[in-house]
Every structure is written in C-alpha cells, then in structure tokens.
Amino acid sequence: MTVYHAILLAGYALNALMIIFLLFFEENNSVHRFTWILLLGFLPLVGVLCYILFSGNFFTRTKRMLRANQKANNHFAKTIETQERNLDTIMQSGRSEVLEDYGSLIRMNMRYGRSPLLSKNSVRLFRTGEEKFQALFAEIQRAKESVHLSYFIINNDETGKELIRILARKASEGVTVRFLYDHVGSLFTSRKLFKPLIRAGGKVSRFFPLSLINPFSINYRNHRKIVVIDGMCGYFGGMNVGDEYANRNNARNYFWRDLHVRITGPAVRILQKQFLVDWYTSTIDESSLLEKLPIESFFPESAGHLTNEEVPFPPDGETRNVAMQVVTAGPDDNRNDEIRDAMIHMITRAKKSVYIESPYFTPDESFRMALKIAALSGIDVQIIVPGQWDKWYCRLAAMPYVSELMSYGVRFWFYNGFIHSKMLVIDNIISTIGSTNMDTRSFSLHFELNAFFYSDEFGQRCGHIFMENRAESREVTEDFFRSASIFRKGLWNFFKLFAPLM
C-alpha cells in the first residue's frame, strides 16, 4: 500500500467516525445534524474539515476568555443575587406595571444571561449612520480619560480614516484608547489604517486572529459593536464603521437603514464589562490579564461628562428613566443561546403585536415555532426584511422561511433598500435592540450583545420606528411566491439546506 492510499484510507476512516459521532453523540437538533451528515456524504474529506471549522463544537473559546468572564461576572454576581432574591417584591411594589408584567423575562435574563436589571438609564436611537457617526465622533473628541471601541467591521474608507484620525488625536492628548476589531469581519482592512493611532499611543488588537497554524476559530466571530467613552457613555447596535453605513458608498445604489443605541446611566457598566472581557481575551500582551487587574477601576461611580447640548443629536430626543438588561451570548457557551431564548420568551408573552426588523432571516426551528404559534393565536406578527440584500445567498436561503411563516399568518415586508437594524418589539411595551440577526449564525456562532428595554415610552418609540420603516416598504404577497419559476424555487430550497451554516 502506497503512502497516498494510506492517507486516503485514513481520511475516509475519519469521515466514517465523524458520521458515527453525529449519529450517536452530537447533541444539536436533528436538522443541524442531518445537514452535516449530508455534507460528509457528498464531500467526505472536505466535510470533516468544514465540521471542525464551522460546527460550533471546536475552538470556540480560550482559557483566557473563561478566566476573564469569570472575573467580570463575579463583579456583578452579588448585585444579581440580591436583585433575584428581591425581584418578587420589586414586581409587586406597584412602581412599574412593565416590571410587574415581565418579571419572568427579567428573572430569566438574570439567571440565564447573568445580567442585572439596571434602571434610570437615558436612551437615544440613531436610524442612520450619518446621525450616529456625527454624534459619536463629537463625543469621542470630548473624552477625558478613555475610549474603548469594539467593532466587527472597520473599513479603510473615509469614515474609517476619520475615526482613526480622531482617536489618534485623543491618544496623543493622553486619553487611553483601546480599539478591538474582528479579524474576519475586517479581513480586507489593512493594518496600515491603524498606524496613526498606534504611533499616537493607542492600542489596537484583533479578536481571534486567524493564521495557518490556527485557522479553527474562523467561524466564531465577535459581531458586537461597542463603544464606551470615559466609562460613562455607551454606544451599541447594528452599525459597523464604514461609508456604506453612512450612505456614503457610491458603489451601492440603495439606501442603508440601520439602528444604533446611545445610553448613559448604570447599564454602561455592562458594556464596559463586556468590552474588557473581549479585550483581555484578545490582547497579545500576556501581562494584561483581566484577572490580575482591579476591575473596579474601570467602573467610575461618577464623572463629569458633556451635556447633550454639546453633541449634534437627531431631533427625536432621548427616553429617560429606562430600565434595561444587557445580555451577551456566544459560542463559548455552546449549550445555551441566551439572546435567542430571551427573544422567544418575549414572543410567547405577546398579547397584541410582534414587530421584527432583521437584515437576514434564517431562524432556527424553535424561533420559527414561536412566531407560528403567536400568529395562529391572533397576534399581529409583522417582519421587515431588506428589499435589496447585501448578500444574495442569504436572500435565497430566507425565502422558504418567509413563505412558510406567511402561510400561518405572519406578514412580511420588503424594505425599499437595505435594512440592517436588528429589533424586536412586543406590544409596543418591551423591546430588544443589538447586534443579533434573526439567523442561526447570530443565535449560535457569533459573539453578540443585545439590550432588553422595559419601558412603555421607549417601546412606543420603537413601535413608531417600525411603522415608519414599514411605510417605506412593500408587503410580500402570495403572488410573489406563486409567480416564482420552478428554477427559482429550487434554488431557494437548495440554499435553505445550508441555512444553519450561514
């Protein structure tokens, strides 16, 4: 037997062992397992490599991440323990009907998402990149102590260069600047972009950097978008850094609608906590371990900060005294999908309406079942997806799910352009906004962050935004699917097979 035949035989043996593992030991749902078995059957050796890279069962976390998470979570553990012990009293105090009605969701996010309930936050929404970047850049320029940023994508374009110029200026003034970006999300962004910031004393790091030696983290990316300024002001949501988010990219012939959040108040501490975990997981400075640092120093109790009048905010105004929880999820805890499960819980509590905006729509079976049950129960379930998609294969994979849910009474709308916002609103009372798309990748494979808001006033604001976006959309009808050719339907169903991997 030649060496070639020996290697080939070993490869097929490994392929057979992988199929046996999937049949008897894989704990994911049957659809997920069948997809991998199908791939292993059609592409025996390639399928093994794809399973290791993309299944979510290997190389999803590091020891440094585990230690950093433990240190950060311990900082808030007593607060959560006290709140959970007193939650029944808080719910029955009569201070807030919202907290009383949704106490089960709050408790779930405390136990499962390890997130305390934090009140008295001020919240402001940005619907376009133009608004967000104008306000964000102005606030960064007024920073006194620190600027922490984490983005999935930063492009080497005018918007990206402008941000780096501002950060470099602040770093040269002595402000601590830390910039974390995802290596795969920004794969085509040259390190040269960050040279001015690094020369000025800023620190830059990549999340789960890829290499030929260790390519196995390619599928587990940091999709969060976090900015914390002086520990007192935070930004998060759907927008990365690039001209396309600000509708400055002439190569795109459609309007880009998005949603981003700016908060002040106690909840900023959770954004800071998550940034620190991600930063000290990723930095190559071995002496900078979060478990060795006084984490309390990153959470100032009070500090002077700019007034709203100094920042060019959009005219819609902010909502004050908002109670909220910030929940994170990721493949480092591959048995749990904290954000998805909290969304499902929200849907099951709906009495009148469920409104969703998402740029991609290939949700797993449990999420679809929640929507199906809500629609069949008479709940008004409406979902806005893009009319023009930035990823053609995601559109093809989404269509079978749209058709299926429409048959149960869910109404879908195609936005006249590309809508990148990620929002779920229940009864115009509670809502969640963040980085999580309604797809399996966000639910199970990406590191994500969402805030859950408990406020009538803010819920009505989110519902109003949904209706405004719906007015700029066209409803999807049964004729759209009936008129589709056999070839197009076949293409939809083919790409649906790979939806769990998208």
Give the number of other CB atoms < 10 A from CB of residue 185.
19
Question: Active-site residue 230, yes or no?
Answer: yes
Say whether 223 is catalytic.
yes
- Which one of the listed residues 71, 223, 273, 345 is annotated catalytic? 223
Q: What is the pLDDT of residues 351-368, one digit of tens each?
A: 999 999 999 999 999 999
Catalytic residue among 420, 439, 446, 496: 420
Determine the Cα–Cα distance for residues 259 and 132; give it in Å rounded to an integer.
9
**Residue 484, pLDDT score:** 87
pLDDT over 70 at 38, yes or no:
yes
CB-based contacts of 149, cutoff 8 Å, min separation 6: 167, 177, 178, 179, 180, 226, 227
Is residue 102 domain-resident? no
Residues 290 and 343 reside in one and the same domain: no
Mapping DSSP onto H, E and C, the string for 38-95 reads HHHHHCHHHHHHHHHHHCCCCCCCCHHHHHHHHHHHHHHHHHHHHHHHHHHHHHCCCC
Q: Comparing C-alpha atoms, which of 92, 126, 85 is closest to residue 107?
A: 85
- Mean per-residue pLDDT for 222-227? 96
Would residue 96 count as lying in a domain?
no
**Do both 314 and 432 map to the same domain?**
no
Average confidence (pLDDT) over 364-378: 96
Q: Is residue 64 part of a domain?
A: no
Domain assignment present for residue 63? The answer is no
* 401 and 465 fall within a common domain: yes
In this structure, the answer to whether residues 405 and 435 fall within a common structural domain is yes
Tell me which residue range forms the domain holding 11: 3-54
Q: Assess whether 225 carries a catalytic annotation.
A: yes
**Residue 47 CB-half CA count within 13 A:** 23
Tell me what the pLDDT averaged over the chain comes to.
87
Residue 280 lies in a domain: yes
Distance CA 458, CA 406 (A): 29
pLDDT at 309 (0 to 100): 53
With respect to residue 348, please indicate whether it lies within any of the assigned structural domains: yes
Residue 99 maps to a domain: no
Mean pLDDT of 480-489: 90
User: For residue 133, what is the domain's CATH number?
Assistant: 3.30.870.10
> How sure is the predictor about 210, in pLDDT bands with cuts at 50, 70 and 90?
confident
What does the pLDDT read at residue 299? 65
* pLDDT tens digits along 488-499: 988 898 888 778
Is the pLDDT reported for residue 61 higher than 70?
A: no
- My answer on whether 389 and 305 are in the same domain is no
Residue 442 shares a structural domain with residue 342:
yes
Task: Give the pLDDT confidence score for residue 228 in this predicted structure.
Answer: 97
Tokens of 408: 């149960």
Backbone φ, ψ for residue 121 (5° rounding): -95, 150
Q: Are residues 349 and 309 in the same domain?
A: no
In a domain, 491, yes or no: yes
- Is 5 catalytic? The answer is no
Q: What is the pLDDT of residues 70-99, one digit of tens each?
A: 888 888 888 888 888 888 777 776 667 777
Same domain, 169 and 40: no
Say which residue, 417 or 209, is predicted with more confidence: 417
Checking if the pLDDT of 128 tops 70, the result is yes
- How, if at all, do strands 430-434 and 260-264 pair? unpaired
Residue 420 amino acid letter: H
Write out the H or E segment, with its range, that includes residue 180.
Answer: strand 176-182
Can 148 be counted among the known catalytic residues?
Answer: no
Least confident among 53-57, 169-173, 324-328: 53-57
State how many domains the chain has: 3
Q: Out of 203, 422, 446, 496, pick the active-site residue.
A: 422
Whole-angstrom Cα distance, residue 60 to residue 51? 13
Name the domain boundary from 303, 322, 341: 322
427, 439, 446, 496: the catalytic one is 427
Is the same domain home to 232 and 288? yes
Please identify, among 37, 54, 71, the residue that sits at the C-terminal boundary of a domain: 54
pLDDT of the residue at 289: 57
DSSP structure string for 182-244: ETTTTTTS-GGGGHHHHHTT-EEEEES---SS--TTTT--B---EEEETTTEEEEES--BSGG
Looking at the fold, whether 357 and 467 belong to one and the same domain comes out as: yes
| pTM, to two decimals | 0.89
Q: Are residues 124 and 182 in the same domain?
A: yes
Looking at 262, 287, 322, the residue that finishes a domain is 322
Q: How confident is the model at residue 271 (pLDDT cuts 50, 70, 90)?
A: very high
CB of 170 closer than 8 Å to CB of 177? yes
> Is 439 known to be catalytic?
no
Q: Which of 192, 196, 161, 197 is CA-nearest to residue 179?
A: 197
pLDDT at residue number 292: 55
Q: Is the pLDDT of residue 306 over 50?
A: no
Task: Please tell me the number of Cα atoms within 13 Å of 3 on its side-chain side.
Answer: 0
- Catalytic: which of 203, 225, 260, 372? 225
- pLDDT above 90 coverage of the chain, percent: 59
* pLDDT greater than 50 at residue 305: no
Which pLDDT value is given to residue 211? 74
User: ∠ CA(253), CA(256), CA(257), 5° rounding?
Assistant: 150
Q: Say yes or no: 346 and 455 in one domain.
A: yes
Rounded Cα distance, 151 and 256, in Å: 18
Position 229 pLDDT exceeds 60:
yes
